[in-house]
């Protein structure tokens, strides 16, 4: 029973990792740009949700607001700063986004203090689900359902719509897209905002589960990297499989070996890389 | 080659740094820390500047050296020279492992892997707190003694570290000037071609990792003796980030650039953190500014200044204006 509980927890956690990794992946796919500030956008999403609920907004209003604010800030950063550095070697992409992550993290500490806080589960989902002798928090069940719907929507958006086709076309050949009359600069800005918004949303959803603290961004960034390394960058299915795998491993290990749960994520990754250098699905 | 890049000039500048730091700094601890990070950053530069490998995992080796020194000195009273040699060997061994796994992927995947490995080793240190002391670290790491005299005063330990620093710097200069070092540059410039000529490029990269790991762990051990603790923070993500930032700020085209990077960062940190606890915000802005305006780092700035002041003839990169 405890394992079923932990596997459900792991699926919830894994879906959040999936959101993070897809955001990272979409940005990389189009802009050939590793966003080291991705964890900072997750952090910002969580803190904005914390702040808005403290101000009396319902979680149902705070979550989309936080997501949109993060997306807006990210788009503004792209339009003002990042597009100037695309042509530089990737050392400088990393330097700039590491710098941005520091700025965001310090601003968060200035605005909300270094101690962190907790976000209550939203109204309507504060109870538990009881099935026989199995008891599970409603909010966690909601995140699984909600992120599953979101994952479906994302898949449809990226693979089934004209918008997705434009994004994929842009990652294949930006110059051809420009020749076809698309404003690639504006597409870049929108996609960066979109990808960062997904990180912000993951942060907003995670806030009621794990609370907020100023250094949650670093951990999120490295987990997103693990997911992307074993699942393959730019692979939707890879991100989903790897995200769930990492989430479930982490949760189940919390029962088996609590101190080593997070260590196991990275050991697992090392094992995958040692045996399958190209990652689980063998792409990229 | 730029005249300032000559090996003798590079080593001369390192000697000058060792001589000048005590004249300007009142804190022997800060001066020692600058030298320790200078060698660690130069080792990171061997990977970034000479081999083209951006490693986000240098904190692993630094932390490994720190713990090796902490454990050997607080539990077993191993002689210090043996501790330093042992740290370097252990650092090389772990760097070989991390390098072997990380270079299985290239470009951005490589960078992400090194970052993930730095998390792996951090959680390992955190989890096995029986060995590492966990959050508390290992307390009471003693300073070395020389011929019966304890080097407890900051400036006498500075001298000890300065000798180590000059030896390590000389070794790194020799490595970069050797055929091995030239081959690393060839791999950085065009890995496919280097492999086609017949160089075992993966082996060379792993060897570069091993050297870098050895020097970094050596520095980590010196650092534990400096602050008297082997702290968990030395193996954190933050340390890896710090070493990389110093390397890029200093400029990756010359080894002495790394000394400048370490010095600049630590002096800035010392001055700003006393004024404002949230000074990392300013550091973030500095990083953005370096990427936009100072891509060759502080060393690039030094080269340009030198050209402007001392060299009359136009530099070969800029063609003379036509009329």
Q: For residue B319, is pLDDT > 80?
A: no
Residues in chain B closer than 8 A to A91 (CB atoms):
48, 54, 248, 252
The residue that leads in pLDDT, B154 or B313, is: B154
We report the CATH number of the domain holding residue B180 as 1.10.3470
Confidence of residue B314 (pLDDT cuts 50, 70, 90): low
What whole-number percentage of chain B has pLDDT above 70?
96
Yes or no: say if A31 and A44 are a contact pair by the CB < 8 Å rule: no
Query: CA-to-CA distance for A164 and A169, rounded, in angstroms?
Result: 8
State how many domains chain B has: 1
- SS3 (DSSP) at B24: helix
Whether residue B73 contacts residue B142, with contact meaning beta carbons closer than 8 Å, is answered with yes
User: Pick from A94, A105, A225: which is nearest to B54 by CB?
Assistant: A94
**Structure tokens of A33?**
């740009």
Enclosing domain of residue B238: 3-310
B302 in any annotated domain: yes
The answer to the question of residue B81 being in a domain is: yes
Local confidence band at B317 (pLDDT 50, 70, 90 cut-offs):
low
Q: Which residues of B touch A227 (CB under 8 A)?
A: none
Is residue B262 situated within a structural domain? Answer: yes
Q: Give how far Cα B175 sits from Cα of A142, A143, A241, B50, B169, Å.
A: 58, 54, 44, 10, 10
In a domain, B16, yes or no: yes
Q: Is residue B322 domain-resident?
A: no
* Interface contact A80, partner B, CB < 8 A: no
pLDDT level of residue A2 (50, 70, 90 thresholds)? confident
Bigger pLDDT: B209 vs A277: B209
Helical spans, DSSP H, in B276-314: 280-293, 297-310
pLDDT in tens, A97-136: 999 999 999 999 999 988 888 888 887 787 888 877 777 8
Distance CA A95, CA A74 (A): 17
Residues of chain A found within 8 Å of residue B54, distances taken between Cβ atoms: 90-91, 94
- Reported ipTM: 0.86
Q: What percent of chain B has pLDDT over 90?
A: 42
SS3 B57: coil
Distance between first and last Cα of chain B: 29
Q: Where are the domains of chain A?
A: 2-215
Cα–Cα dist A47/B290, whole Å: 29
Per-window interface: A 15-54 vs B, CB < 8 A: 28, 34
Tokens of B123: 């959680």
**Per-residue pLDDT tens digits for A172-229:** 777 788 788 887 788 889 889 999 999 999 999 999 988 899 989 988 998 998 898 8
B51 vs chain A: nearest CA distance in angstroms? Answer: 13
Q: What is the pLDDT of residue B321?
A: 46
The answer to whether residue B60 is domain-embedded is yes
pLDDT at residue B316, rounded to an integer: 54
């Amino acid at each position: 029973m405890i394992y079923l509980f932990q596997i459900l927890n792991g699926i919830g956690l894994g879906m959040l990792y999936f959101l993070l990794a897809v955001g990272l992946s979409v940005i990389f796919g189009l802009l050939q740009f590793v966003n080291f500030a991705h964890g900072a956008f997750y952090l910002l999403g969580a803190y904005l949700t914390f702040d808005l609920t403290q101000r009396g907004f319902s979680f149902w209003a705070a979550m989309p607001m936080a997501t949109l604010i993060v997306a807006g800030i990210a788009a503004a950063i792209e339009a003002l700063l990042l597009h100037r550095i695309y042509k530089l070697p990737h050392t400088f992409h990393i330097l700039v986004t590491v710098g941005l992550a520091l700025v965001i993290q310090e601003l968060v500490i200035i605005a909300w203090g270094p101690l962190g806080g907790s976000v209550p589960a939203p109204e309507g989902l504060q109870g538990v689900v009881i099935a026989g002798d199995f008891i599970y928090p409603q909010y966690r069940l909601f995140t699984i359902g909600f992120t599953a719907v979101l994952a479906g929507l994302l898949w449809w958006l990226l693979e089934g719509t004209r918008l997705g086709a434009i994004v994929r076309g842009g990652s294949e050949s930006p110059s051809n897209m420009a020749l076809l009359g698309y404003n690639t600069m504006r597409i870049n800005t929108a996609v960066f905002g979109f990808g960062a918004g997904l990180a912000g949303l993951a942060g907003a959803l995670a806030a009621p589960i794990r609370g907020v603290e100023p250094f949650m961004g670093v951990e999120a960034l490295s987990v997103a990297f693990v997911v992307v390394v074993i699942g393959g960058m730019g692979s939707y299915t890879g991100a989903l499989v790897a995200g769930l795998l990492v989430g479930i491993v982490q949760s189940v290990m919390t029962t088996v070996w609590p101190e080593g749960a997070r260590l196991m994520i990275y050991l697992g990754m090392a094992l995958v890389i040692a045996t399958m250098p190209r990652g689980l699905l063998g792409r990229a | 080659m730029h005249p300032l890049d000559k090996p003798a000039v590079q080593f001369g500048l390192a000697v000058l740094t060792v001589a000048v730091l005590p004249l300007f700094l009142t804190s022997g601890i800060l001066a020692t820390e600058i030298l320790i990070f200078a060698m660690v950053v130069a080792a990171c530069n061997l990977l970034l500047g000479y081999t083209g490998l951006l490693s986000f995992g240098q904190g692993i080796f630094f932390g490994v050296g720190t713990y090796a020194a902490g454990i050997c000195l607080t539990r077993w009273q191993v002689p210090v020279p043996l501790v330093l040699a042992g740290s370097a060997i252990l650092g090389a061994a772990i760097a070989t492992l991390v390098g072997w796994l990380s270079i299985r992927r290239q470009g951005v995947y490589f960078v992400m892997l090194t970052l993930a490995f730095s998390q792996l080793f951090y959680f390992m240190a955190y989890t096995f707190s029986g060995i590492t002391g966990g959050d508390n670290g290992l307390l009471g790491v003693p300073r070395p003694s020389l011929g019966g005299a304890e080097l407890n005063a900051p400036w006498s330990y500075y001298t000890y570290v300065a000798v180590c620093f000059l030896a390590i710097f000389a070794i790194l200069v020799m490595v970069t000037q050797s055929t091995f070092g030239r081959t690393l540059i060839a791999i950085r410039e065009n890995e496919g071609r280097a492999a086609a000529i017949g160089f075992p490029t993966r082996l060379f990269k792993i060897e570069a990792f091993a050297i870098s790991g050895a020097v970094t762990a050596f520095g980590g051990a010196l650092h534990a003796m400096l602050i008297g603790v082997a702290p968990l923070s030395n193996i954190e993500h933050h340390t890896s980030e710090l070493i990389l930032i110093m390397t890029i700020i200093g400029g990756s085209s010359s080894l002495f650039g790394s000394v400048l990077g370490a010095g600049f960062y630590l002096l800035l940190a010392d001055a700003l953190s006393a004024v404002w606890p949230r000074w990392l915000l300013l550091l973030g802005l500095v990083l953005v500014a370096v990427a936009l305006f100072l891509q060759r780092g502080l060393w690039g700035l030094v080269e340009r200044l030198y050209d402007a002041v001392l060299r009359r003839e136009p530099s070969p990169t800029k063609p003379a204006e036509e009329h």
